[in-house]
């Protein structure tokens, strides 16, 4: 990596943790196939040779292949990945049931779903989504509490 201007020092690749997976919109694994744990996002597995124990010429070739794939992804597919609604829908599936359980007796399910959808959409362009679900849940609950209070007062 130093040959191409990337200094790794003593760093080693990080293992993909569940926390990282939960916040990913798109996951790319390298020759993982069925060996990888379940990832609750869109997963694309690149069939790339493992460089471990390979001669330096082969390692360079593998490194260059990964660089080409990443460059191609950024140049040709990043917008379609950002526009992909599957992660949004997965977040909706995690967010809505709890809100319906809490507010279903006071508000219509459609209204709860619309609020959750609207809140999640505000985070669609956020580049780092580490706390999207926490923030979306908190904000949706605040709005739904206000609306359910208003609906109760109007009755």
What are the tens digits of pLDDT across the range 39-69?
667 788 898 998 889 999 999 999 999 999 9
This prediction has a pTM of 0.57
How far apart (Å, rounded) are the C-alpha atoms in residues 133 and 103? 18
Tens digit of pLDDT for each residue in 66-98?
A: 999 999 988 998 888 777 777 778 888 888 999
Q: Which residues of 44-63 are buried (b: 16+ CB within 10 A; e: fewer)?
A: eeeebeebeeeeeeeeeebb
- Whether 9 contacts 22, CB under 8 Å: no
């Amino acid at each position: 990596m130093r040959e191409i201007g990337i200094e790794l020092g003593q760093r080693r690749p990080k293992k993909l943790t569940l926390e990282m997976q939960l916040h990913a919109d798109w996951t790319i694994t390298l020759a993982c196939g069925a060996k990888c744990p379940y990832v609750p996002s869109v997963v694309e597995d690149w069939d790339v040779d493992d460089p471990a124990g390979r001669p330096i010429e082969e390692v360079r070739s593998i490194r260059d292949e990964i660089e080409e794939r990443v460059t191609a992804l950024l140049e040709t597919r990043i917008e379609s990945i950002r526009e992909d609604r599957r992660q949004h829908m997965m977040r909706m599936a995690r967010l809505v049931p709890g809100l319906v359980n809490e507010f279903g007796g006071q508000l219509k399910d459609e209204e709860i779903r619309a609020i959750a959808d609207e809140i999640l959409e505000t985070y669609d362009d956020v580049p780092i989504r580490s706390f999207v679900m926490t923030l979306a849940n908190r904000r949706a609950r605040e709005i739904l509490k206000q609306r359910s209070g208003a609906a109760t007062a109007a009755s």
